[in-house]
Amino acid sequence: MLTAAQLRAARGLLDWTRTELAKAANISPETVKNIEHGTFRPQEQTADAIRKAFAQHDVIFTENEGVQLKKDTVTRYDGIEGFKNFMEDVYATAKLMAEAGQQDKPFYMSSLDDRFFIKYLGDFFTAHIQRMNALKEKFRMRILVKERPHTYSSDEAKKGSYREYRIQSTNVMGNVPFYVYGDKLAVLIFEEKSAPQIVVITSSLVAKAYREQFEILWNTSKPLNKIEVAK
């Protein structure tokens, strides 16, 4: 049984509004309000949808009307195949969030240098951009770059993209790229003479902290008004 107290506590762990929970569970904000006020007892189908929405963000309901965060996990992706598997996880997360209507929570990437993506992924990276761009009506990504990217085709430049760029001053930008997607933080390690290594921490609290840090950098960065098209 899902109680009003559990629902309020679970929202508090993720700092979700009723509207955000409603989108994630595909129910109405009024339904969330009525459950929390005790004026409506959800059917099992509605309760399952709510549980699944929270579970996707590492929040689970326990016995005795409890709520807790899942234990944080760390996943490591090594080499080119590992890099591709990481990008598959990025896409799967983006697709899931787009379907849940969570376009108000864009993905963030700092210290991007597209040359490493091109070097290690090649055509796979182009295909990845295309499938992500297919989600652009419901999905957004903000990117802080060291230099102007060179991965846009002329067609993509004309049609627009899910990606928005800004240039961060080099004196405040770190050298190690990080990627925040969903409730995950990825640290990407690229070196000229070794294969890529990616470490992903699954933790809603860690992801939230890095989102907030990114927003500070984003708000003090210069807009990138012109995209250089790949030749």
> Which CATH number among 3.40.630.10, 1.10.10.350, 1.10.260.40, 3.20.20.120 corresponds to the domain 4-69?
1.10.260.40
Asked if residue 210 lies in contact with residue 144, where contact means CB atoms within 8 angstroms, the answer is: no
Model confidence band, residue 131 (pLDDT cutoffs 50, 70, 90): very high
| pLDDT tens by residue, 17-29 | 999 999 989 999 9
Looking at 3.30.870, 3.90.320, 3.40.50, 3.30.519, the CATH number of the domain 73-223 comes to: 3.30.870
* Every domain of the chain and the residues it spans: 4-69, 73-223
Confidence check: pLDDT of 222 > 70: yes
Tell how strand 73-78 and strand 194-202 pair up.
Answer: antiparallel
Is there a common fold for 4-69 and 73-223? Answer: no
Q: Is pLDDT larger for residue 182 or for residue 147?
A: 182
**Residues 19-63: pLDDT tens digits?**
999 998 999 999 999 999 988 888 899 999 999 889 888 788 888
pLDDT at 173: 58
* pLDDT, position 230: 43
For residue range 179-208, what is the model confidence (pLDDT) as tens digits?
999 889 999 998 767 789 999 998 888 898
* Sign of torsion over alpha carbons 198, 202, 203, 207: positive
Q: In the chain, how long is the greatest CA-to-CA distance?
A: 63
